[in-house]
């Protein structure tokens, strides 16, 4: 769905093009603010609950939030028809990556985790290449190289590669990259098995699947001491706002602006995450981190096809 004159009359769902043009940017910023906050809430919640219980709480709250919406919109039949695929995709797009990010945020700060999260489109391009044969062109291949070079540079200063590091931050960085790989695989899995399924049904099913996947480990590793009210509220906000509401915003953004523009949210998420971390957690942002983030963003922009080499740079 492009933003050119060919589609000026209307957008999907009967939304006038001029109205969509005014509103999709608002949705984009709101979504980035919510997903940026998710790193803050994950860090606060995981510190007291532990990584797996915090991730389990997040998806359980999201599932409880989305299920009534699914039923009220009469889409339960779509979920029942595709429940196996939806639940399975939930392990890859929520269960595993949320647990990995919660684990990582016990060691590294929210800004670094959010910058690494911006590599999701690169992993998505690699998985689509391997799975569907969607071979990236020269511009996208260049972006993959630049993006992963930026990750390596960022990790070299942040993950204990230098003398004196104990390696714990390295494992945290690898956990973040593993989560991003899960997101890339889940995108192709959704394309393969859930094409045409209503977005709300897919989102709800994925959260139910992630909840079932994390249920036993979360109960087994539940904290011995009752977490604080702050930790509980963080996970409730994480499940309702940063997962349930964010999914609704994301799918609405795709409908109004198209997937390419929706993808640009990955550029804004680290901005909000770094801001929240600095203001609420007192985290430090270094010039090296900002420089590496710029390299990663350039790589993501090229590898995702948002910009291309050898022609006028445009956002499609």
Residue 39 has pLDDT above 50, yes or no: yes
Q: Average pLDDT of the chain?
A: 85
Tell me 197's DSSP state. Answer: S
> Cα(212)–Cα(116) distance, rounded to whole angstroms?
27
Which residue do the tokens 């940063």 mark? Answer: 242
Q: What share of the chain is helix, strand, coil (3-state, %, to 5)?
A: 80, 0, 20
Is residue 122 within 8 A of residue 147, CB to CB? The reply is yes
Residue 36 has pLDDT above 60, yes or no: yes
Q: How remote is the C-alpha of 151 from its chain's centroid? A: 17
pLDDT, one tens digit per residue, over 71-96 is 999 999 999 999 999 999 999 999 99
Which residue do the tokens 């969509």 mark? Answer: 20
How many residues are listed for the chain in this entry?
Answer: 316
Residue 20 has pLDDT above 70, yes or no: no
Is residue 293 within 8 A of residue 155, CB to CB? The reply is no
> Cα(46)–Cα(314) distance, rounded to whole angstroms?
40
Mean pLDDT of 287-295: 88
> Cα(266)–Cα(258) distance, rounded to whole angstroms?
15
Mean pLDDT of 282-307: 84
Helix (H) or strand (E) holding 11: strand 10-11
In whole angstroms, how large is the CA radius of gyration of the chain? Answer: 19
pLDDT-based confidence at 4, cuts 50/70/90? very low
pLDDT-based confidence at 269, cuts 50/70/90? confident
For residue 98, report the phi and psi dihedrals to the nearest 5 degrees.
-65, -40
pLDDT, one tens digit per residue, over 189-240 is 988 898 888 889 999 999 999 999 999 999 999 999 999 999 999 999 999 9
pTM attached to this predicted model: 0.84
Q: Which two tokens stand for residue 94?
A: 């929520």
- Residue whose C-alpha is closest to residue 114's, from 199, 40, 184: 40
């Amino acid at each position: 769905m492009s933003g050119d004159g060919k589609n000026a009359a209307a957008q999907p769902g009967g939304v006038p093009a001029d109205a969509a043009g005014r509103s999709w940017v608002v949705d984009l910023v709101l979504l980035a603010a919510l997903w940026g906050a998710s790193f803050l809430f994950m860090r606060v919640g995981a510190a007291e609950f532990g990584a797996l219980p915090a991730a389990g709480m997040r998806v359980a709250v999201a599932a409880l939030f989305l299920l009534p919406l699914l039923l009220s919109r009469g889409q339960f039949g779509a979920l029942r028809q595709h429940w196996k695929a939806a639940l399975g995709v939930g392990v890859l797009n929520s269960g595993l990556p949320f647990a990995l990010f919660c684990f990582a945020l016990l060691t590294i700060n929210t800004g670094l985790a959010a910058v690494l999260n911006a590599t999701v489109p690169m992993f998505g391009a690699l998985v689509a290449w391997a799975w569907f044969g969607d071979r990236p062109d020269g511009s996208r291949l260049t972006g993959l190289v630049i993006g992963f070079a930026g990750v390596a540079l960022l990790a070299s200063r942040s993950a204990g590669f230098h003398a004196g590091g104990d390696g714990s931050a390295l494992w945290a960085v690898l956990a973040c990259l593993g989560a991003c790989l899960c997101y890339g695989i889940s995108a192709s899995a959704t394309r393969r098995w859930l094409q045409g399924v209503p977005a709300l049904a897919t989102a709800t099913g994925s959260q139910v699947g992630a909840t079932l996947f994390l249920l036993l480990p979360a109960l087994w590793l539940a904290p011995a001491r009752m977490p604080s009210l702050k930790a509980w509220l963080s996970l409730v906000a994480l499940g309702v706002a940063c997962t349930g509401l964010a999914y609704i915003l994301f799918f609405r953004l795709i409908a109004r602006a198209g997937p390419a523009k929706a993808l640009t949210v990955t550029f804004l998420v680290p901005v909000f995450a770094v801001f929240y971390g600095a203001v609420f957690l007192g985290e430090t942002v270094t010039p090296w981190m900002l420089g590496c983030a710029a390299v990663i963003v350039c790589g993501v922009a090229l590898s995702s096809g948002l910009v291309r080499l050898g022609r006028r740079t445009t956002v499609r």
